[in-house]
Homo-oligomer: A and B are copies of this chain.
Amino acid sequence: MFKAIVSASTLQDALDSVSVLVDECKIRLNEEELSIRAVDPANVGMVDLTLEAAAFESYSADGGVIGVNLARLEDIAGMAASGDLVHLELDEETRKLHIEIDGLSYTLALIDPDSIRQEPDIPELDLPAEVVVEGAQLNRGVKAADMVSDHIRLRVDEAEESFYIEAEGDTDDVDLKLTREDLIAFSPGPADSLFSLDYLKDMNKAIPADAEVTVELGEEFPVKLHYGFGQGLGQVTFMLAPRIQSD
């Protein structure tokens, strides 16, 4: 059983954060929250999303799991005008999701959850450095790195008390230096890791410019990017595996 009403913008923010990594996903319709975990086919990027029942206008669910085509669901949510509410109701018998937006009814065939790639276990990592940065700043660093390289380096300079987003190209280099004053919060620690820029670009696309993004980092360790949406009742965590730095 699943029946819920949610604002179109909250639904869109949720879907966007998952669709940057995978085409299909399982959605867990728990009693207290809706949740999604997914990993890209290369096992490099993961997403863990929860949206509390309180983020919905109304929400009732009893723990079922559905499989959805994300692009299709995003198209439907895109039919909503700003401020529209989206009504969702699962038909258990036909395994279809009924979606209704201001007189428009859409019957979405679901995907067998067993046919969808297994949900990842997102590891607990005790990473030594933590930076809280505006989405817009992260976006600047990613765009700058994209001018010169396919890789991006995230680094904390403990002596300088600064967080660096860097990229080295064949001829040109770029770095964005964010000092304690530029950051929303900063717990320095030893951190220096290289990542595939394509993945970080995709994750960056989903992060709103005004989001407060918590970045957890280590030395040649995965990075975790965490931010809230839906008035803080939705939470997204991205995890991205590092590339080995060859010097």
Contact = CB atoms under 8 A, between A and B. Distances in A.
Given A79-B140, A140-B79, A105 B147 contact: no
A72 to B, nearest CB: 7
- Report the copy number of this chain in the oligomer: 3
B176 A104 contact: yes
B182 A143 contact: no
B106 A178 contact: no
Nearest to A169: B109
Nearest to A147: B75
Given A140-B79, A143-B79, A172 B104 contact: no
A90 to B, nearest CB: 15
23 contacts: A72-B147, A72-B172, A75-B147, A76-B147, A79-B140, A79-B143, A79-B144, A103-B177, A103-B179, A103-B182, A104-B141, A104-B144, A104-B174, A104-B175, A105-B175, A106-B147, A106-B172, A106-B173, A106-B174, A107-B174, A108-B172, A109-B171, A109-B172
